Amino acid sequence: MTTNHEGAARPDALLPSWQDTPARQAIVDYVERAVQEGGAQYVPPSERIAVFDNDGTLWCEKPMPVELGFILEQLAEMAERDSSLHTQQPWQAARDQDYAWLGDVITKHYHGDDRDLKVLLDGILQTFADMNVDTYAEIAERFLRTTEHPTLGRLLRECTYLPMVELLHYLEAYGFTTYIASGGDRDFMRAITEEVYGIPAERIIGSSAGLRYRDDDTGGSVVYQAKMDGFDDGPMKPVRIWSRTGRRPVVAGGNSNGDVPMLNYTGRPTCPGLRLLILHDDEDREFSYTAGAEASLEQARTDDWTVVSIKNDWATVFAD
> Which pLDDT does position 79 carry in this prediction?
86
What pLDDT does 121 receive?
Answer: 84
**Is 140 a member of any domain?**
no
**Chunked mean pLDDT (size 10), the chain, 320 residues:** 46 84 97 94 96 98 87 86 88 84 81 87 88 95 93 94 98 98 95 96 96 92 94 96 97 97 92 94 97 96 97 95
Overall number of domains in the chain? 2
Q: Are residues 178 and 274 in the same domain?
A: yes
Q: State residue 7's pLDDT score.
A: 47
171 touches 35 (CB < 8 A): no
Residue 226 and residue 107 share a domain: no
What pLDDT sits at residue 112? 86
Per the confidence metrics, is the pTM higher than 0.85?
A: yes
Bond prior to 44 in cis (omega within 30° of 0): no
* Domain extent at residue 163: 5-59+155-313
Which residue, of 111, 128, 145, is where some domain finishes?
128
**Do residues 67 and 186 lie in contact, with contact meaning Cβ atoms separated by under 8 Å?**
no
> Are 35 and 81 contained in the same domain?
no
Within a domain: 23:
yes
Tell me, yes or no, whether 187 and 292 share the same domain.
yes
Residues in the chain, how many? 320
Query: Is 292 within a domain?
Result: yes
Q: HSE on the CB side for 117, CA within 13 Å?
A: 14
Residues 264, 159 share a domain: yes
Asked, for residue 192, whether it belongs to a domain, the answer is yes
pLDDT score at 4: 44
What pLDDT does residue 106 have? Answer: 77
